[in-house]
Each structure stands twice: as C-alpha cells, then as structure tokens.
Amino acid sequence: MSCETPTMAPTEALRTVAINGAYNASRALSKWLHRGVRLTCNGFRSVPIADAGLAFGDAETVVAAVHLPLAGDVTGHMLLAFPEETATALVDLIMQAPSGTTIQLGELEQSCLEETGNIVSTAYANSLSKWLDLHIEPRVPSFAFDMACAILDPLLMDLAGFGNEIYVASTEFLLDGKRFEWGFMLLPSHASFAVMESRCNQESVRAEALQTIAINGSFDASRAISKLLRRGVKISTEGFVRMALDDVGAHFRDDDEILAWHLDLGTHLHGHALLVMNNPNALRFSDLILQQPVPTTTKLGELEESALQEGANIIGSAFLNSWSTWLDIEIVPGAPQFVHDAPDAVIGSVLAEQAMVGDDVFLTQTDFVVDGQTVEWMFLLLPAPSAMRLIDSSLK
C-alpha cells in the first residue's frame, strides 16, 4: 500500500476559495445594499503570464477595474474588472436608478464600483487567508477606467521575472433578477505561489472542502426557500463530516419517528441521499412551509406531506447540486421517496444496502431558521464504491 501523502493542486484549493469568497461577498454586499445579492464563482483557472491579456478578450477593450494590492504571507495583486457596459448597468442597479441612467463614470459612480470591488476582493482575500491559514493584508483599493492592456500591463511587469502564472475566475452577480458577469484575477508573486502550493498539501484543506460543499448547498437552499416563502430564510451548517456507517444510527436513537426524503443518485454518482428529520421538526417544518402559526400541525396529512416534499426537494436538490459542482459531474437522481416511520424502518434498509458496498457516509447537520423558528435535520450522502473513489480523488 502506498503511503504517499495526497496533494491538492492550487487550482483545486482555489476552487474552494472562490466558492467561499463568493458566499462571503454575497453576504457583505447584501448587508451593504439592504437587498439580496448572489455571487457565484466555480473556481479559478491557471493562466501563464504571457497569456494574461487574453483574459479580458481584446487587449484594447475598455474596462472598469478595482485593484487591491496584497501584503503579508501572500504578496501580489487582486483585480476585479467589468466591461464598460456592465459597469454602467451595475451602477444603475446598485443605485436603484432606471436602466440606462448612467452614461459615464463620474466620481460618484467610480466610488460605487470601487466599494463593490473592495467588498468582493476583500471577501476573496479573507477566504484565501482562512482556507490556507495564511496572514494576508488587503491594502487600499484603487479604481481605473482604461483599456485592459493599460490596466493590466503594469501589474504584470511587477511580476515579470518573479511570477510564473496568474489565476483567473469568472464571477456572476445577481441582484433584483438581473445578472452580470465580471472577471477576477489573482496575481501572486513567485514566492507566494510556492507558499500557496505548500499549504495546499495540508490535511486541513480536505476538511475545508467538505465544509465548502455543505455551506454552498445551504446558501443555495436558503435563497430558493426564501423565494418560495417570500420571507428571509437562513439555512446554516458546519459542513459535511465523513463517518463510519455504524455510527449513523446513533443520531436517531432517541427518536420514535422520523421522516426521510430518500433518492437514488442515478448513473453518474451511484449511491443514495437522505434528508432526515424527527417528527417534532417535521411538524414545525410543515407549518413554516404552509406559512401558518407554529404549532398548528399535530399530524401529517396529505397536505402537510406535500408541503414537506416540496421543501425537502428544494433543499436536497441544493445540496446535491453543490456536490455536483464540486465533483464537476452531472447528478441525475431518481424520483424521491418519502417515508414516515420508526428510524429502523426508514433508514435501516438503506444502511443495510450501503453496508454491502461501503463503510463510510457523509453527514451534515443543518439548522433552518425563519421567523424565529428553528428546524433541525440531517443530510446524508451514501456513496457507492465508485462514487467514493471519485469523491476521494476530488479531495486529494
């Protein structure tokens, strides 16, 4: 048996930085604008410095850019760039002005974009710092409005002879039903690249990956349920934990009845997924989905089970989509089945089947909060051996 220490490529580590950075930037921008903002970013790609100018398409494309110098354990630059038409449309949206109002970027408009870029870049820098356990100091941002080559060339010259490559990501910004895309660059110095590569080989990076999958899933579920209920919903989790199959049953030992949303994961990722909550939480969840006072439901009838199924479908799909994004595969699960019974009857057969093919499962404990009411449940991923090999490979 090989005892070689698993390693993770910087681009794989930076995928988690991107997802967490976008999540934290979404929260910060939502707080600043007092409106729900959603940023998504699936990761960075490595680009040789010689090809960096192609990241914005034509080198003579006019862009608005926010530059954030980095100091500390990682030195270099972060650059957030918007095409001119995106910049003006984004200002209108942020300032709640009619579309087409902004036709030039004056001092106020530049300040608006600079603050947006500062919030986003700082969120990514903080995510990088936390993820790789490094001390990173974002410095004072600056705004530029010029051709892409005029903005980028001085930064590349600063790295010339020292840096080998840069990292480029595409970020999607969603606010008030409108979507924009912009480019984001991380330009580390050569020494910083070596530090980042070294930190990527730590065991803690793999644990953080499981946290990211769960957090991104809970964030998507929060937005989807908020849209369904037309109220603010917060779904929080500390992350997925890999555990032995024999330890799963202990989580349901004190429950007389549980409700489970169960599905087969299909051909792309063999195995099962379960979303499980005990009876008191199921009754509370039903009231919240049906938007009636808690406690109203005392027994789960057809209407209540339909409400639970709708809520669980949204939440379960969000977590599976997060796994799908991380693994870069399509997950096409079968139709969900709902079971309401004693724990042994609900999950016993699934666990017994899992025991025939694998020893481990992934579990995350989740809190759902709306109107001061909290519902707790667990989401379990029970991968078949081929799926576990795929997951293990993605975490190395």
Specify if 386 maps to a domain.
yes
> Which of 46-60, 203-217, 355-369 reaches the highest mean pLDDT?
355-369
Give the domain CATH number at 363.
3.40.1550.10
Alpha-carbon dihedral angle through residues 132, 133, 139, 142, given to the nearest 10 degrees: 20
- CA distances 235 to 32, 36, 175, 253, Å, are 21, 15, 20, 24
Q: How far apart are CA 239 and CA 230, in angstroms?
A: 26
Specify if 295 maps to a domain.
yes
Q: Which domain holds residue 150?
A: 10-201
Give the pLDDT band (50/70/90) at residue 10. Answer: low
The confidence score (pLDDT) of residue 385 equals: 83
Specify if 332 maps to a domain.
yes
Share of the chain above pLDDT 90, in %: 21
Specify if 3 maps to a domain.
no
User: Are 315 and 287 contained in the same domain?
Assistant: yes
Cis peptide before 295 (omega within 30 of 0): yes
User: Are 297 and 352 contained in the same domain?
Assistant: yes
The confidence score (pLDDT) of residue 88 equals: 93
User: Are 197 and 211 contained in the same domain?
Assistant: no
And the tokens for 307? Answer: 């409400």
User: Are 238 and 343 contained in the same domain?
Assistant: yes
The confidence score (pLDDT) of residue 328 equals: 79
Is the model's pLDDT at 304 over the cut of 80?
Answer: yes
Query: Position of tokens 């599905």?
Result: 263
pLDDT tens track for 82-136: 888 999 999 998 899 998 999 999 999 999 999 999 999 999 999 888 878 889 9
User: Are 48 and 152 contained in the same domain?
Assistant: yes
User: Are 170 and 223 contained in the same domain?
Assistant: no
Provide φ and ψ at 310, rounded to 5°: -65, -45
Last residue of a domain, one of 201, 218, 236: 201
Closest CA to 124 of 109, 138, 140: 138
More confident residue, 204 or 270: 270
Average pLDDT over residues 373-384: 89
Last residue of a domain, one of 143, 178, 201: 201
Last residue of a domain, one of 173, 201, 229: 201
Give the pLDDT band (50/70/90) at residue 362. Answer: very high
Q: Does the CA dihedral 299-303-305-309 come out positive or negative?
A: negative
SS3 call for 51: helix
Q: Domain count for the chain, please give it.
A: 2
Specify if 2 maps to a domain.
no
User: Are 175 and 285 contained in the same domain?
Assistant: no
